[in-house]
Amino acid sequence: MKTSVVICAYDPDLYDDLSEAIESVREQTYESVEAVVVIDGSDELYERVRNDYEDRRDVVLHCNDSNVGLSRSRNAGIERSSGDVIAFLDDDAVASPDWIAELVDTYERRDAIAAGGRMVPRWVAGEPEWLPPEFYWLVGVTHRGFPEEAREVRNTFGSNISFKREVFEEIGTFEPDLGRHGDRQIQGEETELAARMHAAFGERVWYNPDAFVEHKVFAYRTDPTWLLKRAFWQGYSKRALDELIDDSGGEEGAFVSQLLFSGLPHYARKTVVDGSIPDLKRGVFALALTAAVGSGYLYALVS
């Protein structure tokens, strides 16, 4: 089962990180893998990648004529891929050596049409003690409350998700008006695609926690102001997805229940009983992030 891994990039300053992502794909223990690298409108970055990889038989290169955003870049990668399975990896992520082997095993054992795995953090600037693990999803890391066992889920993170080619042939590719592009903050393109897949096939994404990818959490992503802004736009994106799909709220509802009845009481108990200042900080910031998400949702609702 040949697997294509689509990696999209646009920032020349992140070349070293992109190269590490590409090498992590080329060094997979599973043999039939190709990296499909899409450069989103940066000639400078494309020339650097081409100089290093154009003679590599396991790397396919493409450069968009202009910057078109993440969803359209992923769609360009899908078009140029040759695998039976098409997976997606961010340019600031590093796949574990057995990542593709674990995904392929999931396809074979579960008769799946889509599969994804766990995102683990690589704290570039250190892990902030005040960031509650329930909100690790804001930095692209699998959060507390996400299933720990192998099972079907609505979707996994966009940097660790894959689909059989037949899914794209049946329902089309990523919605181009979703996904990062310049100042546009509406996300959730993999959620929308997975919802379309479920409507067409009646199946969801199989989650395999052993198929893990490291996601680099740079210093700016641990800035409280950045996180609050991101939480706001995540709430905004959630409202936008409500307009597109019918089942976008199930996992968010489970997350809120887990936070209210488990997470926040845990932080309060640790603060009162143990006098834990880090848990006090986590509890307070969890409330602030929840308020930011709610504010973004309400802003989208009224605007």
- Per the prediction, the chain carries an average pLDDT of 91
Name the residue type at position 163. F
The DSSP line for 160-175 is SEEEEHHHHHHH-S--
Mean pLDDT (whole number) for 16-41: 97
Q: Is residue 274 part of a domain?
A: no
Q: Is residue 292 part of a domain?
A: no
Q: Is residue 227 over pLDDT 70?
A: yes
Ramachandran assignment for 179, one of left (phi > 0), alpha (psi -120 to 50 degrees), beta (any other): left
13: CB partners within 8 A, 6+ apart? none
Q: Is residue 234 part of a domain?
A: no
Q: Is residue 230 part of a domain?
A: no
Q: Is residue 128 part of a domain?
A: yes
Name the residue type at position 237. S
Question: How high is the pLDDT of residue 202?
Answer: 96
Q: Is residue 252 part of a domain?
A: no
Rounded Cα gap, residues 43 and 23, in angstroms: 21
Rounded-to-10 torsion of CA 29, 206, 95, 23: 60
Question: How high is the pLDDT of residue 240?
Answer: 76
Instruction: Pick the closest to residue 253 from 293, 224, 219, 296 (CA basis).
Output: 293
Rounded Cα gap, residues 102 and 186, in angstroms: 31
Q: Is residue 257 over pLDDT 70?
A: no
Q: Cβ atoms within 10 A of the Cβ of 240, count? A: 19
Q: Which CATH number do you get for residue 162?
A: 3.90.550.10
Q: Is residue 160 part of a domain?
A: yes
22: CB partners within 8 A, 6+ apart? 7, 35, 37, 53, 59
Rounded Cα gap, residues 238 and 270, in angstroms: 31
What single DSSP character describes residue 184? B
Question: How high is the pLDDT of residue 274?
Answer: 79
Q: What is the pTM of this model?
A: 0.91
Q: Confidence class of residue 9 from pLDDT cuts 50, 70 and 90?
A: very high
Question: How high is the pLDDT of residue 250?
Answer: 56
Q: Is residue 63 part of a domain?
A: yes
Question: How high is the pLDDT of residue 8?
Answer: 98
Instruction: Pick the closest to residue 266 from 109, 134, 89 (CA basis).
Output: 134
Domain ranges, residue 119 = 3-222
CB 49 within 8 A of CB 31: no
* Total count of domains within the chain: 1
Q: Is residue 29 over pLDDT 90?
A: yes
pLDDT digits 0-9 by tens, 64-122: 999 999 999 999 999 999 999 999 999 999 999 999 999 999 999 999 999 999 999 99
